[in-house]
Structure 1
Amino acid sequence: MSDIMRPISIESLLDWILEEYKRNATIFGIRKFFKADPNKTISLFGEQMETPVGPAAGPHTQLAQNIVASYLAGSRFFELKTVQIIDGEDLPVSKPCISARDEGYNVEWSTELRVPDAYEEYVKAWFILKLLSREFDLGDPNGFIFNMSVGYDLKGIQSPKVQKYIDSMQDASQTPIWGQCLKAARQLLPKFTRIDEAYLNAIDPQVSHSITLSTMHGCPADEIEKIASYLIEEKHLNTFIKCNPTLLGYDYARQTMDELGFDYMAFDAHHFTEDLQFEDAVPMIQRLLDRAKAAQLRFGVKITNTFPVEIKQGELPGDEMYMSGRSLFPLSIAVAKKLSDAFHGKLQISYSGGADIFNIKDIFEAGIWPVTVATTLLKPGSYQRIHQIANVLESLTYPTHPQIDLPKLDELVEKANKQALYQKSFKLPESPKIAEKLPLLDCYTAPCRGTGGCPINQDVPAYLRYVAEGKYLDALKVIVDKNPLPFATGTICAHPCQTKCTRQFYEGAIDIRGVKLEAAEHAYDELLATLEKPTRKENAPKTAVVGGGPAGISAGYLLAREGMPVTVFEKADEVGGVLSQIVPEFRLPSQSVKNDVRLAEFMGAEFKTGAAAPSLAELRAQGYDNVIYAIGAWKHRHLKLEQGHAINSLEFLHANRKQLNGSENPYGEHLVIVGGGNTAMDCARVAVRLPGVKSTSIVYRRNKRNMPADEEELLFAMEDGVEFLELLSPVTLENGQLTCEIMKLGERDASGRRRPMPTGQYRQVPADTVIAAVGEDVDTSFYQEVGMTVNDRGHVNVDPVTLETNLKDVYVIGDGNLGPATVVEAIADATKAANNICEVHNLNYERANQNINLAVPRAKRGDLITPDCNVSQSARCLECSTVCESCVDVCPNRANIVVNVNGEPQILHIDRMCNECGNCATFCPYSSAPYKDKFTLFNSKEDFNNSTNEGFYVTDAATKECLVRLGDKVETIRLTESVMDIPNGLLDFMETVIEDYSYCLAD
Structure 2
Amino acid sequence: MNDRMIPIPFHELMGWILQEKEEHQQIFGVKKYYHHTHGEKLDIFGEHLETPFGPAAGPHTQLAQNIIAAYVAGCRFFELKTVQTLDGEDLPVSKPCIKAEDEGYNVEWSTELTVPEAFDEYVKAWYGLKLLSKEYGFGSPEGFIFNMSVGYDYEGITSKKIDTFIEGLKDASHSKIWATCEKYILDNLDAWHHVDESYVHSISSSICTSITLSTLHGCPPEEIERIASYLMKEKHLNTYIKCNPTLLGYDYARSTLDEMGYDYLVFDEHHFQNDLQFEDAIPMIKRLQGIAKNNHVSFGVKLTNTFPVKITQNELPGEEMYMSGRSLYPLSISLADKLTKALGGDINISYSGGAEIFNITDIYNTGIWPITIATTLLKSGGYGRCLQIAEKLGNSLKTDNPVNPDALDQLRTYALTDPHHIKPIKPMPSRKIKDTVPLVNCFMAPCSHGCPIEQAVPAYLHCVEEGRYLDALQIIVDKNPLPFITGTVCNHRCMTKCTRHFYEEPVKIRSAKLLAAEQAMDALLGTITVPEKKSDAKVAVIGGGPAGLAAGYFLGRAGMDVTIFEKQDSLGGIVKHVVPEFRISSESVQHDIDLVKAMGVTIKLNSEQNSIKTLQEAGYPYILIAVGAYEPGILPLEGTTPQNVLEFLADYRKQKGNMHLGESVAVIGGGNTAMDAARAAKRVQGVKDVYLIYRRTKKYMPADEEELYLALEDGITFMELLSPTKWVDGKLTCQKMILGAPDASGRRRPVPTDDMITVEADTVVAAVGEKIDSSWFAQQGITLTDKGYVEADLHSCETSMDHVYVAGDALRGPATIVEAIADATSFALSVLEKEAITETGFEDLSYKGDAERAYAKKGILEMPVSNSDGNRCLECSTICEACVDVCPNRANITVKIPSQHMPQIIHLDNMCNECGNCETFCPYSSAPYQDKFTLFGSEAMLQSSHNAGFFIKDKTVGQCVLRLDGQLMTINLHETYPDIPVEIMEMMQAVCEQYTYYNY
Q: State the TM-score bracket (shorter-chain normalisation).
A: over 0.9
The question of 1:185 aligning with 2:185 is answered yes
Q: Which residue, out of 464, 467, 477, partners 1:467?
A: 464
For each residue in 1:899-951, what CA deviation from the matched residue of structure 2 results, as whole angstroms up to 9, or x when unmatched?
Answer: 00125310111000001111111111111111111100011112111211100
Cα distance in 1 for partners of 2:228, 2:993 equals 52
Q: Which residue, out of 581, 600, 606, partners 2:602?
A: 606
8 Å Cα contact 1:954/1:961 also seen in 2: yes
Equivalent residue for 2:755?
761
Cα distance in 1 for partners of 2:844, 2:512 equals 19
Equivalent residue for 1:890?
886
Cα distance in 2 for partners of 1:718, 1:866 equals 22
For each residue in 1:64-118, what CA deviation from the matched residue of structure 2 results, as whole angstroms up to 9, or x when unmatched?
Answer: 0000000000111000000001111111111111111111111101000000000
For each residue in 1:708-729, what CA deviation from the matched residue of structure 2 results, as whole angstroms up to 9, or x when unmatched?
Answer: 1111111111111111111111
Equivalent residue for 2:127?
127
SS in 1 for 2:204: coil
Q: Which residue, out of 854, 859, 863, partners 2:860?
A: 863
The question of 1:508 aligning with 2:508 is answered no
Cα distance in 2 for partners of 1:441, 1:186 equals 41
Match of 1:503, as an amino acid? R
TM-score (norm 1): 0.98
8 Å Cα contact 1:558/1:840 also seen in 2: no
Q: Which residue, out of 807, 810, 813, partners 1:819?
A: 813
8 Å Cα contact 1:482/1:842 also seen in 2: no
Q: Which residue, out of 632, 641, 644, partners 1:645?
A: 641
SS in 2 for 1:907: strand
Cα distance in 2 for partners of 1:192, 1:397 equals 32
Measured at CA, do residues 353 and 59 of structure 1 come closer, stay the same or move farther in structure 2, by a change above 3 Å? same
SS in 2 for 1:95: coil
Equivalent residue for 2:678?
684
Equivalent residue for 2:17?
17
Equivalent residue for 1:745?
739
Greater CA deviation, 186-195 or 70-79? 186-195
For residue 844 of structure 1, report the CA deviation from its aligned partner: 5.1
Cα distance in 2 for partners of 1:633, 1:614 equals 16
Q: Which residue, out of 494, 499, 502, partners 1:497?
A: 494
Equivalent residue for 1:997?
995
Equivalent residue for 1:430?
429
8 Å Cα contact 1:28/1:69 also seen in 2: yes
Match of 1:422, as an amino acid? H
Cα distance in 1 for partners of 2:477, 2:293 equals 72
8 Å Cα contact 1:337/1:409 also seen in 2: yes
8 Å Cα contact 1:834/1:840 also seen in 2: no
Equivalent residue for 1:934?
932
Equivalent residue for 1:362?
362
The question of 1:633 aligning with 2:632 is answered no
Structure-to-structure mapping, 1:698-847, within 5 angstroms: 698-838=692-832, 839=838, 841=840, 845-847=844-846
Equivalent residue for 1:106?
106
Match of 1:763, as an amino acid? I
Equivalent residue for 1:966?
964
Q: Which residue, out of 864, 877, 881, partners 2:877?
A: 881
Aligned length: 993
Match of 2:334, as an amino acid? A
Cα distance in 2 for partners of 1:771, 1:963 equals 68
Cα distance in 2 for partners of 1:185, 1:289 equals 42
Cα distance in 1 for partners of 2:587, 2:940 equals 68
Cα distance in 1 for partners of 2:813, 2:839 equals 25
For residue 843 of structure 1, report the CA deviation from its aligned partner: 5.2
Structure 2 unaligned segments of length 5 or more: list them. Answer: 833-837
Equivalent residue for 1:579?
575
Match of 2:422, as an amino acid? Q
For residue 540 of structure 1, report the CA deviation from its aligned partner: 2.8
8 Å Cα contact 1:459/1:845 also seen in 2: no
For residue 470 of structure 1, report the CA deviation from its aligned partner: 0.6
Structure-to-structure mapping, 1:920-959, within 5 angstroms: 920-959=918-957
For residue 531 of structure 1, report the CA deviation from its aligned partner: 2.4
Cα distance in 1 for partners of 2:482, 2:863 equals 33
The question of 1:280 aligning with 2:260 is answered no
Cα distance in 2 for partners of 1:963, 1:974 equals 9
8 Å Cα contact 1:38/1:140 also seen in 2: no
Measured at CA, do residues 83 and 844 of structure 1 come closer, stay the same or move farther in structure 2, by a change above 3 Å? farther
For each residue in 1:514-558, what CA deviation from the matched residue of structure 2 results, as whole angstroms up to 9, or x when unmatched?
Answer: 110010001011111122331122x43100001111100110110
Equivalent residue for 2:409?
410
Cα distance in 2 for partners of 1:841, 1:972 equals 47
Equivalent residue for 2:316?
316
Equivalent residue for 1:588?
584
For residue 643 of structure 1, report the CA deviation from its aligned partner: 2.2
Measured at CA, do residues 844 and 57 of structure 1 come closer, stay the same or move farther in structure 2, by a change above 3 Å? farther
Match of 2:673, as an amino acid? T
For residue 641 of structure 1, report the CA deviation from its aligned partner: 1.1
Cα distance in 1 for partners of 2:389, 2:867 equals 18
8 Å Cα contact 2:41/2:397 also seen in 1: no
For each residue in 1:470-515, what CA deviation from the matched residue of structure 2 results, as whole angstroms up to 9, or x when unmatched?
Answer: 1000000000000010000000000000111011111111111111
Cα distance in 2 for partners of 1:38, 1:779 equals 74
Equivalent residue for 1:251?
251
For each residue in 1:935-975, what CA deviation from the matched residue of structure 2 results, as whole angstroms up to 9, or x when unmatched?
Answer: 00011112111211100000000100000000110000001
SS in 1 for 2:138: coil
For each residue in 1:805-833, what CA deviation from the matched residue of structure 2 results, as whole angstroms up to 9, or x when unmatched?
Answer: 11110001111111111000000000001
Task: Give the CA RMSD over aligned residues.
Answer: 1.2
SS in 2 for 1:422: coil
Match of 1:559, as an amino acid? L
Cα distance in 2 for partners of 1:532, 1:438 equals 43
Cα distance in 1 for partners of 2:112, 2:303 equals 23
For residue 189 of structure 1, report the CA deviation from its aligned partner: 1.1
For residue 870 of structure 1, report the CA deviation from its aligned partner: 8.1
For each residue in 1:39-82, what CA deviation from the matched residue of structure 2 results, as whole angstroms up to 9, or x when unmatched?
Answer: 21001111111111000000000000000000000111000000
8 Å Cα contact 2:537/2:561 also seen in 1: yes
Cα distance in 1 for partners of 2:413, 2:579 equals 40
Cα distance in 1 for partners of 2:620, 2:540 equals 6
Equivalent residue for 2:205?
205
SS in 2 for 1:746: strand
Cα distance in 1 for partners of 2:412, 2:843 equals 52
For each residue in 1:612-650, what CA deviation from the matched residue of structure 2 results, as whole angstroms up to 9, or x when unmatched?
Answer: 125211111111010000011111112111222211111
Cα distance in 2 for partners of 1:218, 1:247 equals 12
Cα distance in 2 for partners of 1:188, 1:815 equals 72
For residue 666 of structure 1, report the CA deviation from its aligned partner: 2.4
Equivalent residue for 2:219?
219
For residue 853 of structure 1, report the CA deviation from its aligned partner: 3.3
Equivalent residue for 1:485?
482
Cα distance in 1 for partners of 2:310, 2:841 equals 49
Cα distance in 2 for partners of 1:107, 1:499 equals 28
8 Å Cα contact 1:865/1:871 also seen in 2: no
TM-score (norm 2): 0.98
Cα distance in 2 for partners of 1:616, 1:752 equals 40
Cα distance in 2 for partners of 1:223, 1:749 equals 47
Structure-to-structure mapping, 1:58-77, within 5 angstroms: 58-77=58-77
For residue 795 of structure 1, report the CA deviation from its aligned partner: 1.4
SS in 2 for 1:624: coil
Measured at CA, do residues 716 and 842 of structure 1 come closer, stay the same or move farther in structure 2, by a change above 3 Å? farther
Measured at CA, do residues 842 and 562 of structure 1 come closer, stay the same or move farther in structure 2, by a change above 3 Å? closer
For residue 872 of structure 1, report the CA deviation from its aligned partner: 4.5
SS in 2 for 1:525: helix
Structure 1 unaligned segments of length 5 or more: list them. Answer: none
The question of 1:518 aligning with 2:510 is answered no
8 Å Cα contact 1:37/1:50 also seen in 2: no
Cα distance in 2 for partners of 1:595, 1:586 equals 17
Could you tell me the percent identity over the aligned residues?
A: 54
Cα distance in 2 for partners of 1:655, 1:817 equals 27
Match of 2:538, as an amino acid? K
Equivalent residue for 2:544?
548
For residue 840 of structure 1, report the CA deviation from its aligned partner: 6.6
